[in-house]
Amino acid sequence: MNHHAIRAIYLFEMARTWRTLLQSIVSPVVSTSLYFVVFGAAIGSRITEVEGVSYGTFIVPGLIMLSVLTQSIANASFGIYFPKFSGTIYEILSAPISYFEIVLGYVGAAATKSIILGLIILATAGLFVPLHIQHPIWMLTFLVLTAVTFSLFGFIIGIWADGFEKLQMIPMLVVTPLTFLGGSFYSIDMLPPTWRTVALLNPVVYLISGFRWSFYEIADVNVSVSICMTLAFLAICMVTIWWIFRTGYRLRN
């Protein structure tokens, strides 16, 4: 394995984060803090508890997942799209580095940035509400697994997109609505039976449910189902990326 090439791609992508610290880290943290203020004060005064947990505390895992999902996709998609846009992707493809190493460098950097952001938001949440993580190992497992999975998904979007409009289309029109409708700010048990069945078709529900379980041992769906759904989506993304490099889809032309 060409560790030097992986390290070069990884450090280049991480360096871009530090150059755009305001946009990459500060802005998502401020936005999440506003969610705590607005939802915690406005809605929290009307909904005091959800399944025995105060509302302000209950929404913490959902807010973290909301940021991790969106930032993983944004970081990975822009990371691979910009070399395509500038034409430097051909230098990478012709370099003595395998496709696996290319993906490892870009996706590893995107996932790392998202995990750091998630931990910062977790620490910020502790300033607003009391937190107690029942299963810290499982919390980190869900966090890392989600960041890696959606970084792979963002990598696919970055290769698929042939313009900045398409680069933003899937995250804005698909991922963000699914996240808001995936139980970030409520339990799907609060929904009528028909809508609860519809909500179970949303894959983000399983991510947020499993992540919330690691905090409070409460979940909308079984934890093993959450893990299986996440691993299934991870496998689909990996197979799709393998096919992209195997066929040269939107890379060789």
Domain residue spans of the chain: 3-247
What pLDDT, on a 0 to 100 scale, did the predictor assign at position 49?
79
Q: Per-10-residue mean pLDDT for the chain, 253 residues long?
A: 88 83 76 75 69 85 90 92 86 87 94 93 85 92 95 94 84 84 85 85 91 93 92 95 90 69
Tokens of 225: 């189902």
Q: Which helix (H) or strand (E) holds 202?
A: none
Tokens of 241: 């990326």
Indicate the pTM of the whole model. 0.91
What pLDDT, on a 0 to 100 scale, did the predictor assign at position 41?
65
Query: CB–CB of 120/31 below 8 Å?
Result: no
For 49-143, strand residue ranges (E) read 49-50, 53-54
CA distance 16 to 25: 12
What pLDDT, on a 0 to 100 scale, did the predictor assign at position 165?
82
Q: What is the 8-class DSSP label of residue 84?
A: H
Please state, in angstroms and as integers, the Cα–Cα distance from residue 42 to each residue in 67, 125, 134, following that order.
21, 17, 27
